[in-house]
Structure 1
Amino acid sequence: MSVPSTEIESHAKSIKVAIVGAGSVGVTTAYALLLSHLAAEIVLIDIDKNRALGEVMDLSHAAHFAHAKVSVGEYENCAGATAVIITAGVNQKPGQTRMDLVKTNYGLFEQIVPQIAKHAPNTILIVATNPCDVLTKAAYELSGFPVQRVIGSGTAMDTTRFRHELGKHYGVNPRNVHAVIVGEHGDSQLPVWSLASIAGMRLEDYCKQKGIAYDEDAMDALSKRTREAAYEIIQRKGKTNYGVASVLVSILEPIITNADQLVTVSRVGDYAGVEGVALSMPCKLNSKGAHQDVELLLNEKEKEALRRSATSIKECFDTVAKRE
């Protein structure tokens, strides 16, 4: 449930958010954040200052209606930010996996994250750059922040896509579908079928009550569309930006409003017997960051799939961080 606009605006009076990266995701996030009325000040940071200035000039015309200040900044302007969102990095190209980006973007994080931590030691880091899980672990180690204050956007986007697909299949509003994608924001992501429900009923029970067949082939195709959605969008338009920007704002909202909202985001922890890896699980988001209060109740098949996902992410991180 969204927080009432009057409550959001009361929180926003003292809120500053910095976005590192003035590419399509960073700028679309700035625009979505501007229209959300969640922040009083938005700072855009990019190595290409001329481009960033052009984006800020354009955004400032929208700010006329949203009553927020938008500016170009340096890393020192992260000081006092409630959250810093990192979208900077090489974008995924047609035919690439998110993991293909890891070496370049890890090297970039080695430059970016210590600067943010130096100037904004109390902020919450939100990582959107891919591969999101590997870079969430990198940001955690490079920042020295407590684990709850380094959050990857993770499978929040995949969960949104999953609910959209399920809602379309069953003819209900996606907001009435309770289902999550966990694990990697990538090819080894895991749809948690055992807990997916509509109207308080597991999917098979919902189908029985509705008098329709539970179609496993349709569910497999649906989860494949969810997993491959970004690839298809990138193949067609070269990038994804609107969905992820909206998800980043949805992650910010419970942090800014201290809402204790459950969102599937990436956080460093121990999962399925794999230690010290970042992947997505439902986390409670509030002003102190992301908290994992209750372990998700998975069946044995799902636990094994989660272990494989966690192992894949950890191996990738260890390789790029030269811990082979």
Structure 2
Amino acid sequence: MPPMAIDLARAARKLATDSDGAYDVTLLPVLDYWKFGPKAARERAAAARSGNGDGLTVAQLVDAGGKPASPGNDAATSGTDTNPATTGDDALQALRARTGMQHLRIDGDRLCKDAPITVEFNSIAAGYIIDRMAARFAAQGIRNYLIEVTGEMRAGGQKPDGQPWRIGVEAPLDDARVAQRIVSLRDMAISTSGDYRIYREENGRRLSHLIDPRTLSPITHKLAAATVITDSAMQADGLSTLLMVLGPEQGYNYAVRHQLAALLVSRTPSGFATRTTPAFEQRFPVSSNQRLDGE
């Protein structure tokens, strides 16, 4: 097994253990069940090519990552997959035999499984790549850089003008890209996970692509976005996803307990409510030119 796969599996197992199972990289069949996996994306693309895509283009139906790109009706989806809106719990619970981090074991340079699980590392792979690039830069004596892969970032050193890298933390808006906070980074990585870009609507319900492995269902709480800043892009990547699964209270408590610099944004009847951990406020004290959310 390539060393990269072992590194990713080891990191995933630690996140799963630390969170009592709230993090899981074996959920691919569940993502397909809820129409967020690659199988559903292929079906949407096929429907668009055959003229059954309700007038939408492939680009509108499927984003670069092979996932639903925008909210909308799932009527264009074809195939024989079970419809989650009309099926009881039996079909979903049957997937438990094909998921679960307890079935994944690392034996030296081998990745072993004792059940028919499929492993995918999308929630930490981008961060891992960034960390590898940063290590390569360091080996070549490059100290100042800003690396971005699929929205995850790692800032090394400083900008050419000697100032720190200033990164905008995006507000969780469906139809706009607006920074709600600016943070200055030196030798740190940042990742934001949210439910506001990849989701779909079915029978009046908003379904997030973020799956809680404890229920095998999309998250239903009010946490809209979670940002984590650490010295490792892979850790920030995985932890931001983990906090989104845990939700506003459990996620905040987890972040405080592990001394994470985290910013959580929840939906409220009057708009958004932002909550930051003590570690975040200590590292990134708010000044008038950093806070853009009106708090």
More strand by share: 2
Give the structure-2-normalised TM-score: 0.29
